[in-house]
Chains A and B, each alone.
Chain A
Amino acid sequence: MILIKKYIPLALCFLFGVLTLGSYYVPTAASENYMEAMNQWENIVAGFAFLLGLFGLFYSHYNKITRKVDGWGYSLFVYIGFFMMVIPAILSEGKIMEGTTLTSIGWGYRFIYNALASTMFSVLAFYIVSTAYRAFRIKSAQAAVLFVAALIVILGKVPLGQMLWDTTLGWTGTQVSGIVQWLMDVPVVAGRRGIMMGLAIGGIVTGLKIIFGIERQYMGRD
Chain B
Amino acid sequence: MKNFIEKLLKIDRRLIFLTLTLLLFIPIVRPLGLPNKNIGTEVKGLYDRIESLPPGSFILLSIDYDPGTRPELHPQAIAVLRHAFRKDLRVGMLTLIAGATGLVEELAERIPKDIAPDKVYGKDYVILPYQPNPAAVMTQVGMDLYKIYDTDRNGLPIKDMEVMKGIRNVKDMGLGICITGTALLDSWVALTGDRYKFPFAGGCTAVSQMGYAPYLQTGQLKGLMGGMKGAADYEGLIGHKEKGTSGIDALNLAHLMVIGLIVMANIMMLWLKYL
Contact = CB atoms under 8 A, between A and B. Distances in A.
Does chain A touch chain B in the assembled complex, meaning CB atoms less than 8 Å apart?
yes
Interface of A: 32, 35-36, 38-40, 42-43, 45-47, 49-50, 95-97, 100, 106, 109-110, 113-115, 117-118, 120-121, 125-126, 128-130, 132-134, 136-138, 147, 151, 154-155, 157-164, 175, 177-178, 181, 184-185, 188-189, 192-193, 196
Contacts of A163: 34
B219 to A, nearest CB: 13
Contacts of B98: 50
A84 to B, nearest CB: 14
Nearest to A138: B266
A117 B99 contact: yes
B258 A36 contact: no
Given A130-B17, A133-B265, A43 B102 contact: no
A39 B102 contact: no
Interface residues of B, number: 70
Given A118-B70, A136-B265, A137-B266, A125 B249 contact: no
20 contacts: A32-B143, A39-B140, A40-B148, A43-B136, A47-B132, A49-B132, A96-B101, A114-B70, A118-B67, A130-B13, A132-B258, A138-B266, A158-B248, A158-B251, A160-B34, A161-B252, A162-B37, A162-B38, A184-B210, A196-B214
B57 interface: no
Instruction: Summarize B's interface: helix, strand, loop or mixed.
Output: helix
Contacts of B143: 32, 35-36
A120 B264 CA distance: 29
B84 to A, nearest CB: 21
Contacts of A113: 67, 99, 102
B248 A159 contact: yes
A95 B154 contact: yes
Interface in B256-273: 256-259, 261-262, 264-266, 269
